[in-house]
Amino acid sequence: MSQLPPPGPRRNALFAVVVASVISGALALWDIHRRPDELVRGRKLWWRTAIGLNSGNSLAYWVFGRRREPTAVEPS
């Protein structure tokens, strides 16, 4: 017996949430890899572990884990 809901809007919504979660986690891991240590709040290993354990933690990384990159000011 299948654990998935029957085909229809609920199943489509569930599929969309799972896909969005996987994409968000993959993008967060990619961003952690390319971002310098000083632009990440906390240790990168901690963020990688947290995202690997729970995909919802990728949202926490996007909100709390990133520091803004300094903007370059052009001399006048």
- The CA distance from 62 to 15, in Å, is 22
What confidence score (pLDDT) does residue 40 get? 94
What confidence score (pLDDT) does residue 46 get? 95
Q: How confident is the model at residue 1 (pLDDT cuts 50, 70, 90)?
A: low
Q: Are 57 and 24 in contact (CB under 8 A)?
A: no
What confidence score (pLDDT) does residue 29 get? 95
Q: Are 41 and 66 in contact (CB under 8 A)?
A: yes
Domain ranges (residues) in the chain: 32-68
Report in angstroms the alpha-carbon separations of 32 from 12, 53, 61, 72: 30, 16, 9, 22
Report in angstroms the alpha-carbon separations of 8 from 12, 14, 16, 19: 6, 10, 12, 17
Q: How confident is the model over 16-56, as pLDDT tens digits?
A: 999 999 999 999 999 999 999 999 999 999 999 999 998 78
pTM to 2 decimals? 0.75
